Amino acid sequence: MREENALQNLQLVRMLVEEEEEEEEEEEEEEEEEEQQQQQQQQQQQKQQQQQQQQQQQQLSENILFRRDSLTGNKLLNLMSGGGNPEKQMKVKMCSLLYVVILLTLSEVLSEVNNVSDNSGNAVSGARIFKCKCDINEALDSEGNCVHSQNPVQVWDYIKQQDLTVDISAFSTVAKNSVECIEGFTKLNLNRSHFVIYTNGMLDNLLLVDDSPTDYYCIEHILISKGIDIIAEVCEKNPAIPICCPFGYETNADGECVYRQDLPFSPPLIGNFHWNGYNTTQQNITCQTGEVLEKVIVTQPHFYGASLVSYPIGEQLQWQAIDGLPLYYSSKKYCLTISEKERNWLYYANFCIPDKKFEHIQQCSNRTCLRKCCPYNHVYDEAFGSCVQYFDFQIKYKFTDSSGNKVPDPDDLTLVLGLPYCDVVQTILFNDSDTLRFLENGSLPTVGGTYSSLYYCVEGHSFDFQDPNNTISFTVSETVFGHGVVDIVNIFQSVYIFFIFVCKKINTRQGFRYVIKPRCVKEKFKIKSRPKSEQYCLAEPERCRSEVTDIVA
């Protein structure tokens, strides 16, 4: 870009000079008349200007002579002198200075380009790199044969903090190295986005958190239709996973450890590698006072849920609840079990979480509490199925007595955070009014009953949803999730996941609504119909309950 700007400025100088030549004859006639009238007054001034011009000519002559292909002899001298016109002389000075600046800029740009080109190869001149099968100037074709090829390698300069692309021949040593892993390690194949090579020749596996760079690896260039690709082979230590039951035992419906022959064990880790084995240790998890045992399915990292993350000190469990920030558990704080469900093997993590009921009693035994589902400056986002950061939303509320008469806010009003305490299943209701109504003790009144702040939470609900036909079409499937139920709701072929939600009413307007999550309902409802404005229940008709309704504001 800087080279293009410099060339454009050179063209601008050329145009200015040509314009000066065209106007020269007209200006000379005017100058002769002015010189006759002002000859006596400006005679001394012209002598001083001529002396200054001679000094400037010596300084600028080398730069302006670059244009001698088009400006020669008297024409060049006339241009430099300005024909005796002070205004014209000033223009010439400005053009000359601009020309000098452009030349210096262009020289600097070309110097930087040459330096980058030279330093790219020099950056790895003292390093060595390893190839798996082919020679230095060869790559694998589609049939697995080594054929001649130019093999660029992208390296990371951690001193200058920049990527460099060099030819593999720039390394001081290029050796063949067939990676063979010892017992307890697994050979992993990494694509080019999963590793980085530093200028010292060390390779870092980006899929393992805080993994140390290694020099025991090999790379290979592969010819593809779009050019050339590169892969790497490394050895990584098998994951260390704590298990609740002895190895080879699964957990039955009663939570008992039962032996099963040929039981697979391959819990999901970041990267979904196929490991040759796992370093497992059996341990039991015992929760302390104020904690309860949680059992959740282990999945790949997502917006919420449980996932395993590899660290050099061992695999840690990451737990992301939809109403809070992620928590990390070391190998001493969790264990895994395996169970078969519908011919699929599911891995469950057992770990301890704070007891919501115990916390609520401690916080609200002598205070008036309202429960907010998400942390401060967060709302519930339907697209993510979890709490997301949002700063421009505040819950509006009012307090009334049992007759609906407005009363002052309690002096001991306390806002507690988190989902409500629920044994089995939780319902979800929506309120489209601007203000929520609470009783003097912080309870939430609804058509179906009154719920204390232990059994509900309220939250702003973010949604961006348009249905031109004003119709909703979706299905619900239930999956047991610990002590709760997860409804996987498919809307317009998009998957929306709601933890322990059963009943849901969708408003197609865009904006924020209040999400009311009232007390536990033990029946597992299934969707049957969805009236637009009537009181409704999504359970079987004979078991329909009135508490699954809109909130009365």
To 10 degrees, the CA torsion angle through 373, 293, 327, 500?
-30
Taking the C-alpha atoms of residue 297 and residue 524, their distance in angstroms, rounded to an integer, is 20
Burial of 420 (0-12, 13-18, 19+ CB in 10 A): buried
- 173-177, 332-336, 421-425: least confidently modelled range: 421-425
User: Mean pLDDT over residues 186-190, rounded?
Assistant: 89
357-476 homologous superfamily: Methuselah ectodomain, domain 2 (2.170.180.11)
Q: How confident is the model at residue 352 (pLDDT cuts 50, 70, 90)?
A: very high
- Mean pLDDT, to the nearest integer, of 214-232? 92
CB of 380 within 8 A of CB of 462?
A: yes
pLDDT at 214: 92
Rounded to 5°, the CA angle 221-226-231 comes to 25
- pTM of this prediction? 0.52
- The domains of the chain are located at 128-237, 240-354, 357-476
pLDDT bracket for residue 427 (50, 70, 90): low
Highest mean pLDDT among 53-67, 264-278, 407-421: 407-421
**E strand intervals along 444-520:** 444-446, 449-451, 457-463, 474-481, 484-491, 494-499, 511-517
Residue 152, pLDDT score: 92
The pLDDT of residue 470: 30
User: 235-286, pLDDT tens digit by residue?
Assistant: 988 888 899 999 889 888 888 899 988 888 888 776 556 777 788 889 989 9
Distances (CA, A) of 73 to 76, 78, 203, 302, 361: 6, 9, 64, 77, 100
Q: Do 128-237 and 357-476 come out as alike in CATH topology? A: yes
Q: Which of 81-85, 179-183, 369-373 has the highest mean pLDDT?
A: 179-183
pLDDT at 252: 86
183 three-class SS: coil
Joined tokens for residue 450: 């009154």
Which of these, 375, 362, 368, lies nearest to 399 by C-alpha position?
368
- 297-346 pLDDT, tens digit per residue, is 888 665 567 888 776 566 788 887 766 677 888 888 999 999 888 778 88
Band (pLDDT 50/70/90 cuts) for residue 181 is: very high
Mean pLDDT, residues 452-475 taken together: 55
Reading the block at residue 525, the tokens are 């409802």
Task: For residues 179-193, give the mean pLDDT.
Answer: 90
Tokens for 409, please give them. 């806010």
181: closest CA among 288, 277, 284, 259? 277
Strand-strand pairing, 240-243 and 279-282: parallel
For 26, residues 6+ apart whose C-beta sits below 8 A from its C-beta are none
Asked if 263 and 344 count as a contact pair (C-beta separation under 8 A), the reply is no
Local confidence band at 489 (pLDDT 50, 70, 90 cut-offs): very low
For the segment(s) 128-237, the CATH number from 2.20.25.90, 3.40.47.10, 3.60.15.10, 2.170.180.11 is: 2.170.180.11
Task: State what percent of residues in the chain have pLDDT above 70.
Answer: 56
pLDDT of 81 over the 60 cut: no
- pLDDT value at 464 more than 80: no
Calculated CA dihedral for residues 462, 467, 468, 472, nearest 10 degrees = -150
Tokens representing residue 529 in the block: 């119909």
